[in-house]
């Protein structure tokens, strides 16, 4: 079974995972509060500010990074080099591979690329 953990503020990542649910019967869980994963999985988060990792994502990873196999981040290409930078920063800090980055809530091509990356 594939587990996906996600963090969403504006709803972009949540829209991405909701479309992902239509294509795969994966377990998808929003992080937050004292949630602690029981299964290894993949993290999808968003980029905030000027290429920053959300504090809620950081708190989750500080306690649970050993349960995460890869990181994916949403971003906005209007931010230039800071686009999807949360994934890059998480990768460097927690030594996790970047699975991919996508803009805003992603496209169907992004959904398929995510599925292919997980399954392939």
- Return the pLDDT at 86: 97
CB contact at 8 A, 20 and 4: yes
pLDDT in tens, the chain (120 residues): 999 999 999 999 999 999 999 999 999 999 998 899 999 999 999 999 999 999 999 999 999 999 999 999 999 999 999 999 999 999 999 999 999 999 999 999 999 999 999 998
- Return the pLDDT at 120: 87
What residue ranges define each of the domains in the chain, with the CATH number in brackets?
Answer: 3-110 (3.40.50.360)
Nearest to 71 by CA among 41, 27, 110, 113: 41
- Return the pLDDT at 84: 93
What does the alpha-carbon distance between residue 120 and residue 115 come to, in Å, rounded to a whole number? 8
Read off the tokens for 97.
Answer: 């591979």
Has this prediction a pTM greater than 0.85? yes
């Amino acid at each position: 079974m594939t587990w996906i953990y996600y963090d969403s503020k504006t709803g972009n990542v949540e829209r991405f995972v909701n479309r992902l649910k239509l294509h795969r019967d994966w377990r998808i869980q929003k992080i937050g509060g004292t949630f602690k994963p029981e299964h290894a999985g993949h993290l999808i988060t968003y980029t905030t500010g000027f290429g920053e990792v959300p504090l809620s994502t950081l708190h989750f990873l500080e306690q649970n990074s050993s349960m995460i196999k890869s990181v994916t981040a949403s971003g906005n290409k209007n931010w230039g080099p800071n686009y999807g930078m949360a994934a890059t920063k998480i990768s460097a800090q927690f030594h996790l591979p970047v699975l991919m980055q996508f803009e805003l809530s992603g496209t169907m091509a992004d959904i398929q690329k995510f599925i292919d990356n997980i399954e392939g």
